[in-house]
Structure 1
């Protein structure tokens, strides 16, 4: 049984990958939705602690500044990455999440790519090129789950 975090910038496909993994029968939690993230923008430490303490197998998706506090409870921390042009195209076209639809938000995504992604890359256990077809990304994630 494995616990995995899928992280990365807006528009790399975290939610899409999580949806497919859920369809394939995995227990998944997208922290962009529901009670997982507090008003501060940080993960709710009590809820996340309980989830990771109770779950022997779960795939969590999200990117918040306090996620590192939970890394020791994950078997894998997987960074999905893509060029800024791909990320911005995806956030402009998606209908499931409005974040990234404004110029201000797109500028924030650019800034995060430059400042946050290097920190994620330095602390992840694996990185996956999210420009590949979604099925290839999910297949690679499944390989990691079996390792």
Structure 2
């Protein structure tokens, strides 16, 4: 099984790691974009089930309420984690997404890090320190979770 989930709090670097893995030739899906998430913020379960039933290797990124229903279909569930102050700094300085700039968003991030991240940690098969350079994180994911030569272009 070559399906991998990369999860973690907003601002931890999921999209950046996926971008690097894609650049290296691996098929990736960032569920923050496109038709993967329903209006209620959960994954579209039939769509995700269809993706994961295929034999094609893929690295999926996302953090949604119902992701645990799919853990048994992933070869690895990789949690990227970083201190809350790092997350808040990244969110306040990124230019590709407005989330995390308001005081309300920042309060939510603090609460999610306190309440949600421990749940993600319990379901993860591996936790990586997202303060490391993106290239190193991608190297670790490739070494631990993606068999050599199984990547395909996005």
Aligned to 1:71: 71
Aligned CA-pair RMSD: 1.0
Counterpart in 1 of 2:41? 41
Distance 2:7 2:138 in 1: 14
Cα drift, residue 55 of structure 1? 4.2
Q: Look up the match of 1:109.
A: 109
Note the alpha carbon deviations across 1:79-117, whole angstroms, 9 max, x for none: 000001110010111111211111101110100000000
Displacement of 1:3 in angstroms is 0.6
Whole-angstrom distance in 2 between the partners of 1:63 and 1:116: 10
Tell me, in whole angstroms, the C-alpha distance in 1 between the residues paired with 2:87 and 2:50: 32
Q: Which residue of 1 aligns with 2:52?
A: 52
TM-score, length-scaled by structure 1: 0.97
Contiguous gaps of at least 5 residues in structure 1: none
What does residue 94 of structure 2 align with? 94
Give TM-score scaled by structure 2 length: 0.92
Paired residue for 1:22?
A: 22
Q: Partner of 1:118 in structure 2?
A: 118
- SS of the residue corresponding to residue 35 of structure 2 reads helix
Looking at structure 2, the residues matched to 30 and 47 of structure 1 have their Cα atoms a distance apart, in angstroms, of: 14
C-alpha deviation, 1:138, in angstroms? 1.0
- In proportion to residue count, which structure has more helix? 1
